[in-house]
Homo-oligomer: A and B are copies of this chain.
């Protein structure tokens, strides 16, 4: 006699996500997730194979959301402006959910690395924009330059690593402006 599910994968992932946001990765415990979805801890294993798989699924969800944010930040008309908008959207996302954001490229045990197909999809608007700016020959390398900078900057900002004074907003503007100008210049 089957018992109907009292929770769901979506509910579990979403509960885990908000636990991570409030208490960090180490604050994500199966016991707290279970309590938060109203079930006993062992029941979670009917929906998810392990804590690691849950973390991976959470990261995939986050990457999907980031992709949507980036996609809606570009217009396609002005690649120079699009690159700036992409950086801004990336930073907004990082600030809105810093823990989840850092997790995307975080230190994750081999076994449960997330499926980064979603992340590849998320990078599509960046690639389109750098291709328009720097040309097809350097589109991928340019995308990696911009993405690495944007991720590094926001990760360091979230970690409180900018402690030498100066205006962090200005440093961000300086960074994206410099990058956009260089990529658009005829060096390529």
Interface of A toward B, CB cutoff 8 Å: 24-26, 99, 102-109, 113, 116, 119-120, 123, 127, 138, 140-142, 144-145, 147-153, 155-156, 159-166, 170-171, 174-175, 178-179, 181-183, 187
Contact = CB atoms under 8 A, between A and B. Distances in A.
B187 A155 contact: no
Contacts of A152: 147-153, 155
A164 B140 contact: yes
A174 B141 contact: yes
Contact of A164 (B120, B153, B159): B120
A103 to B, nearest CB: 7
Contact of A106 (B106, B140, B144, B151): B106
